[in-house]
Structure 1
Amino acid sequence: MTDTENERREIAELKHDVAELERDIEELEELIDLEEHIKAGHKPKKAKKYRLRIDKEKVVVEVHEMTGRQILALVNKTPDKYLLSMKVHGAGFKPVAPDHEVVFHSDHVERFQTLALDPSEG
């Protein structure tokens, strides 16, 4: 094959890949409330946005995964003062380390809970 044929083939493959990604994006639900979605018995899946419940506060994020540190930051808390745990459907609460990545569309997360390390905090 010549260089021109190789370039044409690569361009065709890239166009195909882009078309597949665009289809995937169109198929994503606009917003999934993780707690409601899991409690209703639905399996986790990708969405454009997720509504997370952290303690009593609900926040919307536009990413598929976040670290424990990032989740705490959503409610203005830090890992040096708070422990983060996630309620996993059917398995209770599990601790989330600051650098652990929680994947919203596959970890069966219902909600998050924080606990102050110092009992006099919040």
Structure 2
Amino acid sequence: MKDVIDIEEYAKAGKPIPKNMIYKFKVDRAHFETDQECLTGKEILTLAGKNPYNRFQLNQKFRGSVKKIEYDEKVDLTTPGIERFMTLPLDQTEG
């Protein structure tokens, strides 16, 4: 059985994240788990129940900074410093 690693706790402690584990991460205020080291922005939004996914923007919070994640962009959950993910509803009147 694989151990569950909370990537936010590891990021705050400055510890490297081990490979081949179950990764616990936060999207907005909810926690999710996956055994995949890499997920796309679309997969993270879908896992978090943000449907349709293309109505939301996904942001990744690192220590002290925020980065926008594209839908097809791969996120490596073992990258040091990832704290959590945040979503932003997109206004339908854009464009």
Q: For this structure pair, what is the TM-score category when the shorter chain's length is used for normalisation? A: 0.7 to 0.9
Which residue identity does 1:51 align to in structure 2?
K
The alpha-carbon deviation at position 96 of structure 1 amounts to 0.3
1:69 aligns with 2:42: yes
TM-score using structure 2 length: 0.85
Moved over 3 A (4+): none
Cα distance per residue 1:81-120 (max 9 Å; x no partner): 1000101124x1100000000001125311000000028x
In the alignment, structure 1 residue 83 sits paired with structure 2 residue 57? yes
User: Which residue in the other structure is 2:30 paired with?
Assistant: 57
Tell me the distance in 2 between the aligned counterparts of 1:107 and 1:41.
7
- Structure number with higher relative contact order (C-alpha < 8 Å, ≥ 6 residues apart): 2
Q: 1:11 maps to which residue?
A: none
Which ranges of structure 2 fall in alignment gaps of 5 or more residues?
none
In structure 2, the CA distance between the partners of 1:97 and 1:107, relative to structure 1 (3 Å rule), is farther
* Greater radius of gyration (CA): 1
* Number of residue pairs the alignment of both structures matches: 91
Kept in 1, the 8 Å contact 2:15–2:80? The answer is no
- SS at 1:38 equivalent: helix
TM-score normalised according to structure 1 size? 0.67
Which runs of no fewer than 5 residues in structure 1 stay unpaired?
1-25
Deviations along 1:47-105, one digit per CA (max 9) or x if unpaired, are 41000100000011111010000000011114321000101124x11000000000011
User: 3-state DSSP class of the match of 1:80?
Assistant: helix
